[in-house]
């Protein structure tokens, strides 16, 4: 423990060297650019720059690359809030309240809340990594297929039943998401399914294409219908907004803490940032006094998913280092980098490469602080984008969407699919079908199915595997409670009510 603090201090002294600070800023700025341009994504950004870091020392290289990662995480929130286009799966939940806030002219507030929450989440996770790294790594090993499924189950359950739309429309929407997610190659049997012989459907429907279409293009069509204007025009473009937002943030400390814990837990279990953001949003909506207002521009609806996503994104680096399993495509590329520098990720990395590991951990602290400063100073700049006239920005957004859809699989057919999703999204939204359950199902559906079938395969069809130990049993039970929460709540209210009304009679 004492050694660790000494090592961390040494790590800081490495990170604070001027050339490393320069690398850090360069990394953050590149990361934000990469995060803002849909289709570039963190994985791409890191992969592209990876070869350029071979001539640096491993520590400097990982500082720069991990800063690209932080920058991309920060940047992902920007397009979600401004244009309703989430660039990464874990930014989807941020659009639910972030975009309505931007439309109400509160883009600056939403961005500040998002950036600050990301920072808080990441910081919490880094502190956890610093203090309990070895413990955490062994916890991750407990997750077999059944445990992983239980986590997805909890994510779905905490989200289902949240929408105000008619229940059967919600069900239809979510199931269509599952069906779309199932198209392509079935991981478990190596068989193609639902492709009907079309070569273009081999890869299935990627989440990003669906989301760019449903949310991004769909939104442009809705805006068109209501006239050629961006409703976020009145956005304040003043740095004061940062301070004003900060003043109201401490009120939500409980929400932040809960989201941090959810995030860390999801990050360590291999489920990752996406279920974390959805779960955190769902639970916040249920618990918050202003829950009914979620989806209409509630700041809590931005804080919850952003905090959890970043806590998870940060915590996910730990299993990567300690076990050699990447939690995300970006982490996978970073992992490749480690190998090229001659560092072997795995349990011994912490013993053999202390300077590197603690340098990295120190750079997590510094990178997030530098990142927060960089993005916060740019808040007015980002908010000002909303002042560009719609007839100029709309075609540019369309072009960006097309580029984003193309780069997912380097396939022009995906651009066509994006437009189809856009028109579908417009109709669904007008016909009062919720889009969020569909997106959640596309993102997590096939993974949930995979772990479900892996568990059943292992247990030879015995459903008891989902309650076979305390970990999986607890998570499944939590999921069931979340699923039936409205009924339980009703029941509780009735019991209390009957006691209350029974008393006078006695």
Q: Is 250 in the site for other proteins (CB under 8 A)?
A: no
- Taking CA atoms, 34 is separated from 177, 181, 300, in Å, by 28, 26, 27
Choose between 43 and 125: whose C-beta lies nearer to other proteins: 43
Rg of the chain over all Cα atoms, to the nearest angstrom: 23
Choose between 56 and 127: whose C-beta lies nearer to other proteins: 56
Look up residue 444 and give its two tokens: 């997590």
Q: Which of 12, 104, 144, 369 binds other proteins (CB under 8 A)?
A: 144
Integer Cα distance of 303 and 414 in angstroms: 32
Choose between 458 and 486: whose C-beta lies nearer to other proteins: 458
Burial class (CB in 10 A: 0-12, 13-18, 19+), 3: exposed
Q: Which of 108, 270, 275, 297 binds other proteins (CB under 8 A)?
A: 270
Q: Which of 402, 435, 443, 476 binds other proteins (CB under 8 A)?
A: 402
Choose between 60 and 307: whose C-beta lies nearer to other proteins: 60
SS3 per-residue string spanning 101-117: HHHCCCHHHHHHHHHHH
Handedness of CA 81, 85, 88, 94 (dihedral sign): positive
Identify whether the C-beta of residue 262 lies closer than 8 Å to the C-beta of residue 287: no
Choose between 244 and 454: whose C-beta lies nearer to other proteins: 454
Q: Which of 196, 250, 470, 504 binds other proteins (CB under 8 A)?
A: 196
**Min dist. Cβ of residue 276 to other proteins (A):** 19
Q: Is 248 in the site for other proteins (CB under 8 A)?
A: no
Select from 100-108, 258-266, 280-288, 323-331 the region that touches other proteins (CB under 8 A): 323-331
Q: Is 464 in the site for other proteins (CB under 8 A)?
A: no
Choose between 22 and 492: whose C-beta lies nearer to other proteins: 22
Q: Is 134 in the site for other proteins (CB under 8 A)?
A: no
Choose between 257 and 399: whose C-beta lies nearer to other proteins: 399
**Of residues 264, 411, 376, the one with CA closest to residue 327:** 264
Task: Map the footprint of other proteins across residues 338-357, applying CB under 8 A.
Answer: 339-340, 342, 344-349
Give the pairing type, strands 184-186 and 191-193. Answer: antiparallel
Integer Cα distance of 358 and 350 in angstroms: 9
Look up residue 179 and give its two tokens: 């069906």
**Min dist. Cβ of residue 297 to other proteins (A):** 24
Choose between 3 and 199: whose C-beta lies nearer to other proteins: 199
Total count of residues recorded for the chain: 506
Select from 15-23, 83-91, 238-246, 278-286 the region that touches other proteins (CB under 8 A): 15-23
Q: Is 202 in the site for other proteins (CB under 8 A)?
A: yes
Identify whether the C-beta of residue 367 lies closer than 8 Å to the C-beta of residue 70: yes
> DSSP string spanning 62-112?
HHHHHHHHHHHHHHHHHHHHHHS--SSGGGHHHHHHHHHHHHTT-HHHHHH
Q: Is 388 in the site for other proteins (CB under 8 A)?
A: no
Q: In this structure, what DSSP letter does residue 276 have?
A: H
Q: Is 456 in the site for other proteins (CB under 8 A)?
A: yes
Print burial letters for 376-408: b (CB count within 10 Å at least 16), e (below 16): bebbbebbebbeeebeebbeebbebbbebbbbb
Task: Map the footprint of other proteins across residues 279-298, applying CB under 8 A.
Answer: none
Which position has the token pair 């790590």?
11
Q: Which of 409, 468, 471, 485 binds other proteins (CB under 8 A)?
A: 409
Choose between 142 and 164: whose C-beta lies nearer to other proteins: 142
Q: Is 18 in the site for other proteins (CB under 8 A)?
A: yes
Under the phi-then-psi rule, with left for phi > 0, alpha for psi from -120 to 50, and beta for the rest, what region is 235? beta
**Min dist. Cβ of residue 422 to other proteins (A):** 8
Integer Cα distance of 384 and 82 in angstroms: 10
Q: Which of 142, 240, 251, 290 binds other proteins (CB under 8 A)?
A: 142
Choose between 319 and 479: whose C-beta lies nearer to other proteins: 319
Q: Is 8 in the site for other proteins (CB under 8 A)?
A: no
Q: Is 179 in the site for other proteins (CB under 8 A)?
A: yes
**Of residues 26, 49, 23, 44, the one with CA closest to residue 34:** 44
Helix (H, G, I), strand (E, B) or coil at 349: helix
Q: Is 161 in the site for other proteins (CB under 8 A)?
A: no
Q: Is 454 in the site for other proteins (CB under 8 A)?
A: yes
Following CA atoms 334, 336, 341, 347 in sequence, which dihedral angle do they give, to the nearest 10 degrees? 80
Identify whether the C-beta of residue 201 lies closer than 8 Å to the C-beta of residue 416: no
Q: In this structure, what DSSP letter does residue 193 have?
A: E
Q: Is 193 in the site for other proteins (CB under 8 A)?
A: yes
Q: Which of 254, 399, 487, 495 binds other proteins (CB under 8 A)?
A: 399
Q: Is 115 in the site for other proteins (CB under 8 A)?
A: no
Select from 102-110, 200-208, 298-306, 464-472 the region that touches other proteins (CB under 8 A): 200-208
Look up residue 175 and give its two tokens: 């199931």
Q: Is 407 in the site for other proteins (CB under 8 A)?
A: yes
Task: Map the footprint of other proteins across residues 25-64, applying CB under 8 A.
Answer: 26, 29-30, 33-34, 37, 39-40, 43-45, 47-56, 60, 64
**Min dist. Cβ of residue 271 to other proteins (A):** 13
Choose between 262 and 397: whose C-beta lies nearer to other proteins: 397
Helix (H, G, I), strand (E, B) or coil at 406: helix
**Of residues 451, 107, 96, 476, the one with CA closest to residue 282:** 96
How many Cβ atoms sit within 10 Å of the Cβ of residue 346? 14
Q: Is 335 in the site for other proteins (CB under 8 A)?
A: yes
**Min dist. Cβ of residue 244 to other proteins (A):** 33
């Amino acid at each position: 423990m004492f050694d660790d603090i000494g090592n961390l201090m040494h790590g800081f002294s490495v990170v604070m060297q001027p050339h490393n600070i320069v690398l850090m800023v360069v990394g953050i700025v590149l990361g934000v650019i990469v995060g803002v341009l849909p289709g570039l994504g963190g994985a791409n950004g890191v992969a592209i720059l990876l070869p350029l870091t071979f001539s640096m020392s491993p520590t400097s290289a990982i500082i720069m690359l991990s800063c690209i990662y932080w920058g991309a995480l920060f940047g992902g929130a920007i397009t979600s809030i401004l244009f309703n286009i989430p660039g990464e799966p874990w930014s989807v939940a941020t659009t639910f309240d972030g975009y309505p806030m931007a439309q109400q002219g509160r883009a600056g507030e939403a961005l500040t809340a998002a950036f600050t929450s990301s920072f808080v989440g990441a910081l919490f996770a880094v502190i956890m990594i610093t203090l309990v790294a070895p413990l955490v790594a062994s916890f991750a090993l407990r997750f077999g297929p059944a445990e992983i499924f239980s986590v997805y189950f909890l994510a779905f359950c905490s989200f289902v039943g949240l929408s105000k739309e008619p229940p059967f429309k919600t069900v239809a929407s979510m199931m269509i998401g599952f069906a779309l997610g199932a198209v392509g190659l079935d991981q478990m049997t190596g068989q193609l399914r639902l492709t009907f012989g079309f070569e273009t459907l081999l890869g299935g429907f990627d989440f990003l294409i669906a989301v760019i279409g449903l949310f991004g293009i769909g939104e442009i069509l809705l805006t068109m219908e209501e006239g050629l204007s961006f409703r976020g025009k009145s956005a304040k473009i003043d740095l004061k907004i940062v301070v004003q937002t900060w003043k109201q943030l401490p009120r939500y400390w409980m929400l932040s803490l809960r989201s941090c814990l959810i995030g860390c837990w999801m990050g360590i279990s291999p489920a990752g940032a996406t279920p974390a953001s959805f779960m955190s949003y769902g639970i916040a909506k249920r618990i918050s006094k202003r829950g009914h207002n979620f989806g209409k521009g509630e700041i809590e609806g931005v804080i919850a998913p952003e905090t959890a996503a970043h806590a998870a994104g940060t915590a996910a680096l730990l299993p990567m280092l300690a076990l050699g399993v990447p939690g995300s495509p970006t982490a996978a590329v970073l992992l490749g980098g480690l190998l090229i520098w001659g560092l072997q990720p795995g349990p011994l990395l912490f013993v053999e490469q202390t300077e590197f590991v603690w340098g990295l951990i120190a750079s997590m602290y510094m990178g997030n602080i530098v990142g927060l400063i960089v993005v916060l100073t740019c808040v007015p700049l980002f908010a000002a984008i909303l002042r560009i006239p719609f007839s100029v920005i709309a075609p540019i957004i369309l072009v960006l969407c097309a580029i984003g859809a193309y780069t997912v699989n380097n396939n022009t057919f995906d651009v066509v699919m994006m437009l189809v999703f856009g028109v579908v999204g417009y109709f669904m939204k007008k016909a009062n079908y919720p889009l969020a359950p569909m997106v959640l199902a596309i993102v997590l559906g096939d993974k949930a199915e995979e772990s479900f079938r892996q568990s059943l395969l292992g247990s030879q069809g015995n459903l008891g595997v989902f309650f076979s130990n305390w970990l999986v049993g607890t998570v499944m039970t939590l999921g069931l409670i979340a699923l039936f929460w409205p009924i339980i709540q009703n029941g509780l209210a009735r019991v209390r009510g009957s006691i209350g009304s029974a008393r006078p009679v006695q």
